[in-house]
C-alpha cells in the first residue's frame, strides 16, 4: 500500500486512545468519576479539534483511498467536535440530577464522535458503513441509557430496530452499486458512472436504496417516524446530543456521496431529494402545531429543518452546498441553546416537558425567557437573527437554479412553522405565571446558552466570515 499515512487520521486516533484510556479510569474509579471523565472527554474533543486544525486540510486520500481529508471534511469535523463539546457540557449536571451518573456515558459519546468523523471522511463504501455503524451503535445504547425508564428503553429499542432496517437497505443499495461498478471506491464509482450513456435499472435501484437508508439517518420524511418517539423517550441530555450532532455528520456523508460518486446520476437523485425536502418541510411544519411536549416539538422542528437544508442539495451547485453547510452550523448552535433551556425546565427536582410549563416564564425567570425568545425568533427565521441568514442562503441557492416552487413552499412552511415557535414565546410572555423553575443552572449550561445567544445575535455583524468559510469548504467537494 503506497498511501499509508496516518497524519490525516490523527484526530480520530487521538480520540480513540482517549476513549479507551478514560474507560480504564472509569473502571478503576467507578461511577463517582463520571464528572471528571465527562470534562476529560470534553477536553479531549477540544484537543482533537486543535489537532484537526494542525493536520492540514489540503485534499488527499490515504489508506488505500479509504479515508479522504479535504477542506469540507475538516470544516464538518470541526463543527462535529464543537457540537460534541456542547452536548457533553450540557449533560454533566443532568446526569447527576437524573441519577444516571455512569462513566460509560461520555465514553460512548467519544466513540459516537469517532464514527461521525469517519463518516465525514469516508471515501469508500466500506469506510462509510463502518463509520455509520460505529456512530449508530453508540447512539442506540445512549438512547436506552436511562434503564429504569420504560420510555427510554422503548426509545432505544425502536431506534435500534429501525436503524438496523435502514442499515439493511443501505447495504442492499451498496451491493447493487458494487455489483454494477465492481468497486467500492468513490473515485472509481464516480468515473464508471460518468462514462455511461444510459443509466441501467440496477444502479438506480441501488441509489434509491442507499438514499432511503441515509434519509432515515437524517430523519427526512417519509423516514422520520422514529424521530418524535426517540426524542421524547431518550433522556433529555441524549436528545440534545441527537439533535445537535449526528445530523451534521449524516448530511456531510450524504453530500459527499451525492456530489462525488453519484454526480453523474444527479437527474435520478434530484427527484428523490426534491421529494424528501418537500415532504419534510410540510410534515415538520404541520405536525409540530399539535404538539404540547417540547421535546416532540423540537423533533418535528428538526425534521422541518432537515427539509430546508435539503433544498440546498437540490440546487446542486457549490453555492447550494455551501448554504447547506452554513444552515447546519446555525441550526446546530441554535439547538444547543434551546436544549440548554429545556434542560433547565425542572420543578422541585423533577424535569417537566410540557409547553404549558413555560407559562409566565418572563415573570419568574426573565433571563431564561428572553434567551428562549431570541432562540425561537432565530429558529423561525426572523431577521436579524442568524436563523434568517441560513434560510436566506438556502432559498437563494434554489431560486438561482430555478427551483421556484420548492423555494416558495419553503417560505410558506417556514411561516407555518413560525406559528409554533411564536406560540412558545406567547406562552412565556403572556400567560399567567405558574410555579417557578428550580434556580440552579450550572455554569456549563449558562456558558452554552450564552455562546449560542451571542452567535445568533452577533452573526449579523460579520456574516461574511461564516458564509465565506462554508462556501469554500463546500467548494472543495466540487473541485475533485
Partner 1 sequence: MIIQALAFYLFAGILTLSSLMVITARNPVHSVLFLILTFFNSAGLFILLGAEFVGMIMVIVYVGAVAVLFLFVVMMLDISFADLRKGAMQYVPIGLFIGAVLLTELVLVYGAWQFAPDVGLNLAAPAMRFEDATNAESLGQVLYTDYVLAFQLAGLILFVAMVGAIVLTLRKRPSVRKQSVAEQQRRKAEDVLEMHKITPGTGI
430 φ, ψ (degrees, to nearest 5)? -115, -5
Residue 23 interacts with partner 1 (CB under 8 A)? Answer: yes
Instruction: Pick from 57, 94, 140, 159 the residue near partner 1 by CB under 8 A.
Output: 140
**Cβ contacts of 315 within 8 Å, gap of 6 or more:** 323, 397, 398, 400, 401, 403
Nearer to partner 1, 188 or 422 (CB): 188
Number of H helices, E strands in the chain: 20, 4
- Grid coordinates in use for 139? 447512539
Residue 70 interacts with partner 1 (CB under 8 A)? Answer: no
Outline where 360-462 has alpha helix (H).
361-364, 366-379, 386-400, 404-430, 443-458
Residue 130 interacts with partner 1 (CB under 8 A)? Answer: yes
53: number of CA atoms within 13 Å, CB side? 9
Nearer to partner 1, 62 or 448 (CB): 62
Q: Which long-range contacts (CB under 8 A, 24 or more apart) does 200-205 make?
A: 202/176, 203/176, 203/177, 203/265, 204/265, 204/268, 205/173, 205/176
Instruction: Pick from 21, 56, 147, 436 the residue near partner 1 by CB under 8 A.
Output: 147
Nearer to partner 1, 100 or 385 (CB): 100
Instruction: Pick from 5, 14, 16, 392 the residue near partner 1 by CB under 8 A.
Output: 16
- Grid coordinates in use for 102? 455512569
Measured distance CA(231)–CA(178) in Å, rounded: 35
Considering only residues 295 to 354 of the shown chain, the ones binding partner 1 according to CB under 8 A are: none
Closest C-alpha among 139, 129, 133 to residue 105:
139
Instruction: Pick from 183, 268, 293, 396 the residue near partner 1 by CB under 8 A.
Output: 183
The CB-of-467 to partner 1 minimum distance in angstroms stands at: 34
Nearer to partner 1, 113 or 410 (CB): 113
Instruction: Pick from 67, 75, 300, 388 the residue near partner 1 by CB under 8 A.
Output: 67
- Grid coordinates in use for 215? 434519509
The DSSP bridge partners found for residue 416 are none
Residue 5 interacts with partner 1 (CB under 8 A)? Answer: no
- x-or-dash string of contact with partner 1, 75-114, rule CB under 8 A: ---------------------------x-x--xx--x--x
DSSP code for 58:
S
Residue 276 interacts with partner 1 (CB under 8 A)? Answer: no
Is residue 423 within 8 A of residue 353, CB to CB? The reply is no
Is residue 343 within 8 A of residue 264, CB to CB? The reply is no
Residue 202 interacts with partner 1 (CB under 8 A)? Answer: yes
Instruction: Pick from 126, 263, 399, 475 the residue near partner 1 by CB under 8 A.
Output: 126
Instruction: Pick from 21, 54, 168, 182 the residue near partner 1 by CB under 8 A.
Output: 182
Q: Report the interhelical angle of 366-379 vs 386-400 (nearest 10°).
A: 0
The CB-of-278 to partner 1 minimum distance in angstroms stands at: 23
Residue 438 interacts with partner 1 (CB under 8 A)? Answer: no
The CB-of-232 to partner 1 minimum distance in angstroms stands at: 20
The CB-of-133 to partner 1 minimum distance in angstroms stands at: 6
Instruction: Pick from 113, 131, 337, 442 the residue near partner 1 by CB under 8 A.
Output: 131
Residue 475 interacts with partner 1 (CB under 8 A)? Answer: no
**Cβ contacts of 45 within 8 Å, gap of 6 or more:** 15, 81, 84, 85, 88, 110, 113
Outline where 316-365 has alpha helix (H).
318-343, 361-364
Neighbours of 454 (CB within 10 A): 12
Instruction: Pick from 46, 55, 165, 188 the residue near partner 1 by CB under 8 A.
Output: 188
Residue 66 interacts with partner 1 (CB under 8 A)? Answer: yes
- Choose one: 122-130, 260-268, 323-331, 356-364; the region binding partner 1 (CB under 8 A): 122-130
Measured distance CA(173)–CA(203) in Å, rounded: 9
**Cβ contacts of 237 within 8 Å, gap of 6 or more:** 87, 90, 91, 94, 95, 343
DSSP code for 65:
T
Instruction: Pick from 118, 221, 240, 276 the residue near partner 1 by CB under 8 A.
Output: 118
Q: What number of chain residues touch partner 1 (CB under 8 A)?
A: 46
Nearer to partner 1, 67 or 466 (CB): 67
Residue 184 interacts with partner 1 (CB under 8 A)? Answer: yes
Residue 176 interacts with partner 1 (CB under 8 A)? Answer: yes
Contact footprint for partner 1 (CB under 8 A): 1, 9, 16, 20, 23, 63-64, 66-67, 102, 104, 107-108, 111, 114, 118, 126-127, 130-131, 133-134, 137-138, 140-141, 144-145, 147, 156, 176, 179-185, 188, 192, 195-196, 200-202, 205
Amino acid at each position: 500500500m503506497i498511501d499509508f499515512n496516518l497524519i490525516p487520521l490523527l484526530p480520530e486516533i487521538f480520540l480513540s486512545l482517549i476513549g479507551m484510556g478514560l474507560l480504564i479510569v472509569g473502571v478503576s474509579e467507578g461511577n463517582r468519576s463520571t464528572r471528571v471523565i465527562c470534562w476529560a472527554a470534553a477536553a479531549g474533543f477540544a484537543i482533537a479539534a486543535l489537532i484537526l486544525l494542525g493536520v492540514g486540510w489540503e485534499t488527499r486520500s490515504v489508506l488505500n483511498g479509504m479515508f479522504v481529508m479535504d477542506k469540507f471534511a475538516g470544516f464538518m469535523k470541526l463543527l462535529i467536535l464543537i457540537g460534541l463539546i456542547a452536548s457533553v457540557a450540557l449533560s454533566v449536571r443532568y446526569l447527576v440530577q437524573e441519577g444516571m451518573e455512569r462513566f460509560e456515558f461520555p465514553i460512548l459519546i467519544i466513540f459516537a464522535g469517532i464514527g461521525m468523523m469517519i463518516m465525514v471522511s469516508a471515501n469508500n463504501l466500506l469506510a462509510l458503513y463502518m463509520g455509520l455503524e460505529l456512530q449508530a451503535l453508540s447512539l442506540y445504547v445512549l438512547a436506552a441509557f436511562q434503564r429504569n425508564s420504560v420510555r427510554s428503553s422503548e426509545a432505544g429499542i425502536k431506534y435500534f430496530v429501525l436503524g438496523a432496517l435502514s442499515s439493511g437497505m443501505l447495504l442492499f443499495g451498496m451491493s447493487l452499486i458494487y455489483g454494477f461498478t465492481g468497486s467500492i471506491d468513490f473515485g472509481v464509482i464516480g468515473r464508471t458512472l460518468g462514462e455511461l450513456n444510459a443509466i441501467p435499472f440496477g444502479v438506480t435501484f441501488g441509489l434509491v436504496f442507499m438514499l432511503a437508508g441515509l434519509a432515515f439517518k437524517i430523519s427526512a420524511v417519509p423516514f422520520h417516524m422514529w424521530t418524535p418517539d426517540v426524542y421524547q423517550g431518550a433522556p433529555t441530555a441524549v436528545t440534545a446530543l441527537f439533535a445537535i450532532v449526528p445530523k451534521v455528520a449524516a448530511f456531510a456523508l450524504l453530500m459527499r456521496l451525492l456530489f462525488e460518486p453519484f454526480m453523474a446520476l444527479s437527474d435520478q437523485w434530484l427527484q428523490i431529494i426534491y421529494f424528501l425536502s418537500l415532504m419534510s418541510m410540510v410534515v415538520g411544519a404541520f405536525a409540530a402545531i399539535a404538539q404540547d411536549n417540547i421535546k416532540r416539538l423540537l423533533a418535528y422542528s428538526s425534521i422541518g429543518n432537515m427539509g430546508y437544508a435539503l433544498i440546498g442539495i437540490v440546487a446542486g451547485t457549490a453555492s447550494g452546498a455551501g448554504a447547506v453547510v452554513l444552515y447546519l452550523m446555525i441550526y446546530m448552535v441554535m439547538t444547543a441553546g434551546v436544549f440548554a433551556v429545556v434542560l433547565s425546565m425542572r420543578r422541585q427536582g423533577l424535569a417537566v416537558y410540557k409547553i404549558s410549563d413555560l407559562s409566565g416564564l418572563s415573570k419568574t425567570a426573565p433571563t431564561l425567557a428572553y434567551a428562549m425568545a431570541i432562540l425561537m425568533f432565530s429558529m423561525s427565521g426572523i431577521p436579524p437573527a442568524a436563523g434568517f441568514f441560513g434560510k436566506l442562503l438556502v432559498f437563494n441557492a434554489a431560486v438561482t437554479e430555478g427551483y421556484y416552487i420548492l423555494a416558495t413552499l419553503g417560505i410558506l412552511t417556514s411561516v407555518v412553522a413560525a406559528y409554533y415557535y411564536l406560540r412558545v414565546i406567547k406562552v412565556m410572555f403572556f400567560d399567567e405565571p405558574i410555579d417557578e423553575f428550580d434556580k440552579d443552572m450550572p455554569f456549563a449550561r449558562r456558558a452554552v446558552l450564552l455562546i449560542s445567544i451571542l452567535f445568533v445575535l452577533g452573526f449579523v455583524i460579520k456574516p461574511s466570515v461564516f458564509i465565506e468559510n462554508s462556501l469554500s469548504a463546500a467548494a472543495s467537494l466540487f473541485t475533485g
